[in-house]
């Protein structure tokens, strides 16, 4: 469970201080849920932050890797104002991770999944993470933070290639996708 931010401040996973002995601010692996599309996977923290994802394949460079580098690793988070508690579960019979955020003014559910292609359809994997947010009671103030990893100085010298990444909103659906490995 996530701890509420002090004094009603937005819950910002980037600023999260997890004083858990030798973890030095890193979350234990047990704090993560996993979603995937049979070609890759993403790890989602209990507070809804995507901290690890390689798109569109397991062996592609990481799009989010805060799991390993909390300063420059990149993430996709959903900081919530006046957070009281969070809970999560997988929707029955699916790989859809449902995280419920309860605040002092209401609650909302965040459903995360990666669409799969049918085996043998001959198409490339889609490498998409879909996040659906739905208010279930009252009203909830939250933000959507997308922070790609900061390149190391060595990476900057090695490659100036552009990233092929899409982040778009259609109705209430945020989609993040990559059709090629991101480096």
Q: Give per-residue pLDDT as tens, 116-131.
A: 876 666 666 677 888 8
Please report the pLDDT score of residue 182 as a whole number: 40
Of 125, 12, 25, the closest CA to residue 78 belongs to 12
b/e code 35-70 from CB counts within 10 Å (16+ = b): bbbebbbbbbbbbbbbbbbbbbeeebebbbbbbeeb
pLDDT more than 70, % of the chain: 64
CA angle at 171 for the pair 131 and 53, rounded to the nearest 5°? 20
- Per the CB < 8 A criterion, the answer to whether 158 and 149 are in contact is no
Mean pLDDT of 152-181: 44
What is the C-alpha R_g of the chain? 17
Length of the chain: 183
Of 139, 95, 99, the closest CA to residue 115 belongs to 95
Please report the pLDDT score of residue 142 as a whole number: 87
Write out pLDDT tens, residues 15-70.
444 444 455 778 899 999 999 998 899 999 999 999 999 888 899 888 899 999 88
Cis peptide upstream of residue 60 (ω within 30 degrees of 0)? no
């Amino acid at each position: 469970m996530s701890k509420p931010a002090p004094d009603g401040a937005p819950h910002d996973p980037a600023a999260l201080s997890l004083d858990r002995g030798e973890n030095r601010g890193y979350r234990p692996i047990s704090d993560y849920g996993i979603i995937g599309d049979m070609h890759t996977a993403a790890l989602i923290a209990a507070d809804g932050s995507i901290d690890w994802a390689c798109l569109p394949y397991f062996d592609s460079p990481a799009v989010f890797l805060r799991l390993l580098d909390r300063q420059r690793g990149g993430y996709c988070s959903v900081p919530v104002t006046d957070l009281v508690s969070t809970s999560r579960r997988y929707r029955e019979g699916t790989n859809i991770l449902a995280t419920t955020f309860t605040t002092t003014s209401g609650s909302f559910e965040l459903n995360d999944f990666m669409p799969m292609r049918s085996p043998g359809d001959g198409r490339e994997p889609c490498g998409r993470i879909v996040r659906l947010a739905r208010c279930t009671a009252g009203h909830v103030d939250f933000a959507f933070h997308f922070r790609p990893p900061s390149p190391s100085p060595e990476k900057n010298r090695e490659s100036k290639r552009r990233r092929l990444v899409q982040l778009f909103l259609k109705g209430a659906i945020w989609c993040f996708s990559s059709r090629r490995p991101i480096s």
